[in-house]
Amino acid sequence: MSEEKKEKRKASSIDPCAVDLLRYAEECSIPTAFSRSDSLKPCPIGAEGACCKICAMGPCRLKSKDGEDALKGVCGASLATVTARNIARMVAGGTAAHSDHARDVANTLLAAAEEHTKDYQIKDVEKLLAVANNFGIDTSGRTKNEVAKEVAEFVLKDFGQQKGEVSFIRTATKKRQELWREHKLVPRGVDREVCELMHRTTMGVDTDPEDILDAALRTSLADGWSGSRIGTDFSDILFGTPKPIKSEDSLGAFQKKHINIVVHGHEPTLSEMIVVASEMPELIDYAKSKGAEGINLVGMCCTSNEILLRHGIKSAGGFLNQELGVLTGAVEAMVVDVQCIMPAIADVVKGFHTKLVTTSPKGRIPGAEHIEFDELHALEVAKKIVRLACDNFPNRKDTRIPDYGKTMVAGFSHEYIKYMQGGRFRGSFRPLNDAIIAGRIRGLAGIVGCNNPRVDQDSLHDYLVRELIANDVLVVQTGCGAHASAKSGLLRPETMELAGPGLREVCEAIGIPPVLHMGSCVDNSRILTVLTAVAQEGGLGDDISDIPVVGIAPEWMSEKALAIAFYAVASGLYVIFGVESPIAASPTVQKIMSEGWEKKVGGKLEFIPGKEEMLAATLAHIDKKREALKLRKYEKGKFGVEKVLMSMADRRKLEEAAHAHKGVGGV
């Protein structure tokens, strides 16, 4: 973005609900992240990674017109060292966040398995057995709780392990595992890698930028192949593995005559219980006793994605909608757990009747009411929160609920993606691979990550999704990227009409939209699982780095997004980030993370602010990978020969026949 454009632009959104509420905020002079991002310019030195503030001799600001080596810190640290250290510390922060979330889910699974709580039970036994199988845990003749206890204890050691390898590494392709071992990139334990990276990057320890960045790759792998994977798999075991489900995503999800409760943040443990509590007849009666017609539970950010995918609970959108939700005047309680929660909500609620409720012992906000969650009394806590929201309903004043709603289909777990390509008995990734080989599908893209008020909300997500599907690229999404597409109506089967002819044919045959919502931020681990399965299916090389696929976070803002980028690169992906580059100050660091990493691990990370440039780089990379695999050159509307995809109707017939034969129930 040019300096001139930066000056002129005003933070806004392509979401009409957000625009309505931003207008209201402006009329009432209520500050939001949008207005603050206009008035608060980022520090140009810090933004580019050139500011070192890890000791009290500084901060040392190393940006100079005379080149990268013109200035050194008081201790002698080079700009490349400082830039590498800064981004590495962000990766440590992101890895810690995902992994600590996962630790809580793992402890909840253990508590359920040991029957210390009656509020949680194991819902997906099939998934439990599949995870147990990964680790060679004996399942025969044992109860589900016995197996779950051993699985939870086996995986919980990943956090504190001092030597060896974290558990899920063994589920990567053989080639990838060998590559990681060769470059000493296999994480030993989650806590150890995060702790070591913080030590390594403190004053006067590691000053070799490549070495620092290798350590950051290893730490990020503790996120992608341990922390996030535990978060996803254990949540599936406890709460059910997602399958397609219809819902809505819009700030119009609030209901005028109902008690509106927003659950916002990331963890599914409390929100699952609030789902249960909000459907209890005793609490619905309580809501009615306060003059409401019922209880309307709505999600936000990734807590939303967790309960959306498993229960179809409506969403009010992603990260940048949190203050706007309060501005509707219709929210009785904004219940938050951890991550991506703006402290600004505490100020916004002062002008409204909304109660801000913090629930995590790790995340308090001055001015909020704190009702602490613990998994042993989960339902009791959830009921208390729902009652608090009901009690607040009589305090409601004017409301302004936007009237734009968009339906969506979400819930494409990797298990379902396999199932949809052949059903319960014949599911595989063969049809997807064949469609890529034949050129019907040009390649794959994961468009993930946050919103950032430094760009118009959702604008880059929306542009890239529309352009890529028009170019026959199948898109998968998580996090706030998925919210962006849901709000634009792109997560519906009708979106097929916007897809290129090859992708459209595949989507019609299988019965899926060309944009698949795969879940929350920790569920980026599902994308790694899909890509590993694609590599193992055959015909597209033998590792993720061979597949024509790109990962993009066009509107990123969080440290967690960087941790995801690093583990995706270390797993072999080309990753593109938009907005600003936190390594712009150092050409040396940029070279290590692009050319250097491509040679070392087959993936690379680049920061590309322009949307057309992001699109061009994505398509060029997909075509480069196709060429390396000696696949037919992609030409829109011209395909090679491939096996005929089985339609949903044919699949159902086959399954009915199989069920009749075996006398078993359906999926």
Which residues between 452 and 511 bind ligand MSK (CB under 6 A)? Answer: 479-480
CB atoms within 10 A of CB 60: 20
Query: How is residue 632 annotated by DSSP?
Result: P
- Candidates 61-69, 81-89, 148-156, 555-563 — which segment interacts with ligand MSK by CB under 6 A? 555-563
Return the SS3 of 606.
Answer: strand
Measured from the CB atom, is 54 or 90 closer to ligand MSK? Answer: 90
Please work out the total of residues on this chain that contact ligand MSK, with binding judged by CB under 6 A: 15
Asked whether position 558 contacts ligand MSK by CB under 6 A, the answer is: yes
Which residues between 153 and 192 bind ligand MSK (CB under 6 A)? Answer: none
228-239 vs 268-278: helix crossing angle, rounded to 10 = 20
Measured from the CB atom, is 505 or 555 closer to ligand MSK? Answer: 555
Q: How far is the CB of 109 from ligand MSK (least distance, A)?
A: 21
Q: How far is the CB of 586 from ligand MSK (least distance, A)?
A: 25
Measured from the CB atom, is 450 or 646 closer to ligand MSK? Answer: 450
- Pick from 30, 450, 552, 575: which binds ligand MSK (CB under 6 A)? 450
The pair of structure tokens assigned to 548 is: 């024509």
- Separation of alpha carbons 326 and 31, rounded Å: 12
Measured from the CB atom, is 340 or 622 closer to ligand MSK? Answer: 340
Which residues between 236 and 275 bind ligand MSK (CB under 6 A)? Answer: 266
- Separation of alpha carbons 247 and 569, rounded Å: 33
- Separation of alpha carbons 331 and 313, rounded Å: 16
The pair of structure tokens assigned to 89 is: 């510390």
- Candidates 68-76, 206-214, 344-352, 553-561 — which segment interacts with ligand MSK by CB under 6 A? 553-561
Which residues between 120 and 159 bind ligand MSK (CB under 6 A)? Answer: none
Asked whether position 566 contacts ligand MSK by CB under 6 A, the answer is: no
- Separation of alpha carbons 311 and 510, rounded Å: 23
Measured from the CB atom, is 17 or 51 closer to ligand MSK? Answer: 17
Which residues between 335 and 354 bind ligand MSK (CB under 6 A)? Answer: 340
Site string for ligand MSK, 9-38 (x = CB under 6 A): ------------------------------
Asked whether position 639 contacts ligand MSK by CB under 6 A, the answer is: no
Return the SS3 of 61.
Answer: strand
- Candidates 179-187, 206-214, 557-565, 639-647 — which segment interacts with ligand MSK by CB under 6 A? 557-565
Measured from the CB atom, is 84 or 340 closer to ligand MSK? Answer: 340
Which residues between 292 and 321 bind ligand MSK (CB under 6 A)? Answer: 301-302, 318-319
Measured from the CB atom, is 189 or 481 closer to ligand MSK? Answer: 481
Asked whether position 560 contacts ligand MSK by CB under 6 A, the answer is: yes
Listed in sequence order, the DSSP H helices in 279-368 are: 281-289, 301-311, 322-327, 345-348
Question: Which residue pairs from 203-211 have beta carbons closer than 8 angstroms and sit at least 24 positions apart in sequence?
Answer: 203/54, 203/55, 203/75, 204/75, 207/77, 207/78, 207/81, 208/81, 209/78, 209/80, 209/81, 209/83, 209/84, 209/586, 209/588, 209/589, 209/592, 210/84, 210/592, 210/596
- Separation of alpha carbons 133 and 122, rounded Å: 17
| Nearest residue to 270 via CA among 380, 123, 157 | 380
CB atoms within 10 A of CB 296: 23
Identify the bridge partners of residue 369 per DSSP, sorted by sequence position.
357
Measured from the CB atom, is 12 or 139 closer to ligand MSK? Answer: 12
268-278 vs 378-392: helix crossing angle, rounded to 10 = 60
Measured from the CB atom, is 207 or 321 closer to ligand MSK? Answer: 321
Q: Which residues bind ligand MSK (CB under 6 A)?
A: 266, 301-302, 318-319, 340, 449-450, 479-480, 520-521, 558, 560-561
